[in-house]
Chains A and B, each alone.
Chain A
């Protein structure tokens, strides 16, 4: 009897995962099956199997966070790795100098988008020394992603979130056991100051001064006191907020308390159709969800209000740990007690597609580089 149920569950999960597996195939190959060699075939196969396995397991096990985090962390590591290798291929170094700035060749990620709003309104220009095509695409992608997922981007599509996610999972138990949930609002202060300072100086202040992830991508070549100061600031922020504090607290400290883009995206959570809800009937106020929430989004008040704070990144960790199944993905405007599985599937599909779109190409490329290193002794 138990075998029958297991087989039935596998079959059902496979059937529900099938559209995603087909989409995985299409997105990772990008509709092009002309592999240039066996290395490409191996890289494609590993990437395709990896993502198909993750999605299947999400449906089969009913757990979201464990499999999401695996894909998300691998993505962040591979992104940093491939990004740096590519820069070394093009520039010979992963630092940039005056030449790169004057030529407007600084690559842009999704994070600076919020800094552009006020200067774009007043000066009708974009305050970033990058390629206008890639900036336009990044802006469209950020707006589109935030409409679909709100702050869910921070756990499913961010290029860097996997770093502090990884650090927050290193220890089994937190050394600092209690982090006051009120600190989730500090990122809004960073957002406020960065937006205003960028507008006043017409420069992407966060990128120049505060972004900790310059440590794992590219940074300015030290040639003046001011650049030295910038280097010290971002290195300390990376070490403190992305590595040390997440290890000690088991929280995504950089994402929860510092990232201004996270704060900005929190505002889009308000208009987003997907949310996390707590069923008051089932909840016994054990507080486990509040303790494990990596972005400090579930305080006692939030549990009483049956929904997390706007800072929730929809990672699914609280849903997975709740022994009474009182927390679930929810579509706004629908009943909290009905359509639980449907709400989860309808959220998982766009969220996982986002992860595959970003991570698929990056991981595939990273595997090619590793194979090249093993077989030829060089990645370049």
Chain B
């Protein structure tokens, strides 16, 4: 029995060299395979949440995401909503927009962004809309995140 275990252990140790080689040589294939697993998604806390609706204007496209109330279990009482402004060409210098993030047909907050000077003015209209978290250029777009209160909590 001892001898069998010993032989099996040596065989396993021998294969370790090949395991390391396979992991790195076949890395891209493994990445594609495991990348399809249900948990391999960036958390909406970072990715910004799913798209809720899009408003398309002449020179500006506004993507309003669904509010993110991510918590380890259930939903948290406070979260954020992400708005992405994309220009059809370059981003306009001045963006002034009222946003209805919860689709109740009433504006929840107002944004005034100067994309050249990197200045954002924010005005909360709805009591559920909290302060501005971040307003920043991201590649060719402009992304804004506003703190919002979870109505269910």
Chain A interfacial positions (CB closer than 8 Å to B): 23, 97-99, 101-104, 118-130, 132-133, 135-137, 139-141, 144-145, 147-149, 199-200, 202-203, 273-274, 331-335, 339, 342-343, 346-347, 349-350, 353-354, 357
Q: Is the pair B42, A128 in contact by a Cβ cutoff of 8 Å? A: yes
Query: Which of B55-63, B90-98, B132-140 faces chain A?
Result: B132-140
- B12: A residues at CB distance < 8 A: 273
Residue of A nearest to B46 (CB): A129
Q: Is the pair B13, A343 in contact by a Cβ cutoff of 8 Å? A: yes
Q: Is the pair B31, A137 in contact by a Cβ cutoff of 8 Å? A: yes
- 28 residue pairs from A and B, CB less than 8 Å apart: A98-B134, A102-B143, A104-B47, A119-B43, A119-B72, A121-B39, A126-B40, A129-B46, A130-B42, A136-B31, A136-B34, A136-B35, A137-B28, A139-B34, A141-B24, A144-B23, A145-B20, A149-B16, A200-B72, A202-B43, A273-B12, A273-B16, A339-B10, A342-B10, A346-B13, A349-B17, A350-B17, A357-B20
Q: Is the pair A132, B40 in contact by a Cβ cutoff of 8 Å? A: yes
Q: Is the pair B13, A347 in contact by a Cβ cutoff of 8 Å? A: yes
Residue of B nearest to A139 (CB): B34
In the assembled complex, the Cα of A178 lies from the Cα of B73 at a distance in Å of 46
Q: Is the pair B6, A99 in contact by a Cβ cutoff of 8 Å? A: no
Closest CB in chain B relative to A103 CB, distance in Å = 5
Residue of A nearest to B37 (CB): A136
In addition to A125-B70, A331-B10, A350-B20, 11 A-B residue pairs with Cβ atoms within 8 Å of each other are: A98-B134, A98-B136, A122-B72, A125-B43, A126-B41, A128-B46, A202-B43, A202-B70, A273-B12, A333-B8, A347-B13
Q: Is the pair A273, B42 in contact by a Cβ cutoff of 8 Å? A: no
Cβ-neighbour of A124 out of B10, B41, B145 (below 8 A): B41
Q: Is the pair A127, B13 in contact by a Cβ cutoff of 8 Å? A: no
Asked whether A137 and B138 contact (CB < 8 A) given A333-B8, A346-B10, A346-B14, the answer is no
- B138: A residues at CB distance < 8 A: 99, 102-103
Which 9 pairs from chain A and chain B are nearest by CB?
A: A333-B9, A144-B23, A129-B46, A125-B43, A98-B136, A346-B13, A350-B16, A349-B17, A148-B16
Cβ-neighbour of B42 out of A129, A203, A335 (below 8 A): A129
In the assembled complex, the Cα of A186 lies from the Cα of B77 at a distance in Å of 35
Chain B interfacial positions (CB closer than 8 Å to A): 5-6, 8-10, 12-14, 16-17, 19-21, 23-24, 27-28, 30-31, 34-35, 38-48, 70-73, 134, 136-139, 143, 145
Q: For chains A and B in complex, what number of residue pairs have CB atoms within 8 angstroms? A: 135
In the assembled complex, the Cα of A318 lies from the Cα of B147 at a distance in Å of 55
Q: Is the interface of A mostly helix, strand, loop or mixed?
A: helix
Q: Is the pair A125, B9 in contact by a Cβ cutoff of 8 Å? A: no
Q: Is the pair B46, A127 in contact by a Cβ cutoff of 8 Å? A: yes
Q: Is the pair B27, A140 in contact by a Cβ cutoff of 8 Å? A: yes
Closest CB in chain A relative to B27 CB, distance in Å = 6
- A144: B residues at CB distance < 8 A: 19-20, 23
Most A CB within 10 A of own CB, among B21, B43, B48: B43
- A127: B residues at CB distance < 8 A: 43, 45-46
